[in-house]
Amino acid sequence: MNLTDILDVAQIVPDLQSRGKHEVMEELCRPIIARRPDLRAEALLQVLIERERLGSTGIGDGIAIPHGKVPGLDQLLVSFGRSVQGVDFDSLDAKPAHLFFLVLAPEDSAGAHLKALARISRMLKSNTIREELMAAGDSQDIYEIFSRQEEEI
């Protein structure tokens, strides 16, 4: 699975305005709702909040990957956001998160869900990629970074 198969430019928020954990998740749900108006923001946010109660999805190095399984969803949905100022996301390293992937999966798709999380984690392990994403100008620039990474893997 390529990240660019499940993420397009419209799902990228290059300048998150939110300052809190729940607000970031809500802001990252907006491009998904725009694409899928049949979904309810409140329901998506509840799934994400419930997952966060199990443990923070702030994995450190300025990265957070809030995710969850949504009843009735028929495909994997992803959005990406960047916060230049950073957001306290209760990350494992206690540092603010700057790069966010929101991943929503169908209830019965453990394989696709785990593959997407692994792919994202592997890509963002690179200091160079994280620096490029932070320096990118807009959604198209960010998308091109992801696209280029897919070609190199």
Domains of the chain: 3-152 (3.40.930.10)
Q: Using pLDDT thresholds of 50, 70 and 90, give the confidence band for residue 56.
A: very high
State mean pLDDT over 114-127: 91
pLDDT, mean over the chain: 94
State mean pLDDT over 59-78: 94
Of 33-47, 85-99, 102-116, minimum mean pLDDT range? 102-116
% of the chain at pLDDT higher than 90: 82
Q: What is the CA radius of gyration of the chain?
A: 14
Cβ neighbours of residue 66 under 8 Å, at least 6 residues apart? 24, 25, 28, 48, 51, 52, 57, 100, 101, 102, 103
Q: Using pLDDT thresholds of 50, 70 and 90, give the confidence band for residue 153.
A: low
State mean pLDDT over 33-47: 95
pLDDT the model gives residue 115? 87
pLDDT for 148 beyond 80: yes
* Catalytic residue of the set 22, 67, 98, 113: 67
Q: Using pLDDT thresholds of 50, 70 and 90, give the confidence band for residue 138.
A: very high
Q: What gap in Å lies between CA 63 and CA 138, rounded to an integer?
A: 19
pLDDT for 54 beyond 70: yes
pTM equals 0.95
pLDDT the model gives residue 140? 98
State mean pLDDT over 57-70: 96
Q: What gap in Å lies between CA 76 and CA 113, rounded to an integer?
A: 7
Q: Is 22 a catalytic residue?
A: no
State mean pLDDT over 51-56: 95
Closest residue by Cα to residue 7 from 97, 103, 130: 103
